[in-house]
Amino acid sequence: MAESELNNQPDAAESHPEKGDVVNFANTQIKCVEGTVVRLSQCTVNQITAETVDFDNGASQTINSQTLTFQNGAVLFSHSQVMTLSNGSVGVSSASESTVNGNVGVLVSQSSTINDGQAGVIIGNEVRGEKIKTVVLLARNTHGPVETIVDQRGVALFGLAVGIAFSLVFSLFRMIKRR
């Protein structure tokens, strides 16, 4: 099994993608990492592709993985089968199963557990947790206290109100045009 490890050498990882079965990085900047298992600590990474990613205290633009465990940092886009977020932020996340204790802009997940987390939009089959705060929630089943600004009923009412408003405006234009 090949193992790649780099500590405190930011220039060495910038020139080419790092690949390996097990890849460990600490305190560095990396453009691209590919591997079976990728462990990162205090790193900035553009793109990560791996079966398992364990990321602590860093930032990444894109992460594609089977299993993602992310703590204390920020990710712009993530796509995983299983995602666990602790005290961090994700812009857009797509996962089959997700556990969130942090902030997510858009969360699309079949099954989500959100404990003391916030999200702009949550879309999923099942959402459960404690202290869920979201702007828009579209879910088949919800378990736990959810604080939403817009839910499925709100979206339907908003669509109805917009439809009525447009029909009134077009009717007024027709009346004015006839005169």
How confident is the model over 41-67, as a mean pLDDT? 95
How confident is the model over 158-165, as a mean pLDDT? 86
Q: pLDDT above 90 covers what percent of the chain?
A: 56
- Residue 75 placed within a domain: yes
- Residue 58 placed within a domain: yes
Confidence check: pLDDT of 62 > 60 = yes
- Residue 166 placed within a domain: no
- Concatenating the DSSP letter of every residue in 60-126 gives EEEEEEEEEEEESSEEEEEEEEEEEEEEEEEEEEEEEEEEEEEEEEEEEEEEEEEES-EEEEEEEEE
- Residue 41 placed within a domain: yes
Res. 159 pLDDT band, cuts 50 70 90: confident
- Residue 179 placed within a domain: no
Summarised one tens digit per residue, pLDDT across range 84-93 is 999 999 999 9
Summarised one tens digit per residue, pLDDT across range 99-120 is 999 999 999 999 999 988 889 9
Confidence check: pLDDT of 6 > 60 = no
d(CA 135, CA 78): 20
Confidence check: pLDDT of 171 > 70 = yes
Res. 17 pLDDT band, cuts 50 70 90: low
Residues of the domain holding 11: 3-151
- Residue 55 placed within a domain: yes
What per-residue confidence (pLDDT) applies to 4? 45
Contact call for residues 118 and 134 (beta carbons, < 8 A): yes
Bridge partners for 90 per DSSP: 75, 104
Check residue 58 and give left, alpha or beta (phi > 0: left; psi -120 to 50: alpha).
beta
- Residue 45 placed within a domain: yes
Res. 2 pLDDT band, cuts 50 70 90: very low
Residue located via tokens 């959100």 = 114
What per-residue confidence (pLDDT) applies to 151? 66
Secondary element (H or E) of residue 36: strand 29-41
- Residue 126 placed within a domain: yes
Res. 162 pLDDT band, cuts 50 70 90: confident
What per-residue confidence (pLDDT) applies to 40? 93
Structural domain tally of the chain? Answer: 1
Tell me the average pLDDT of the chain. 86
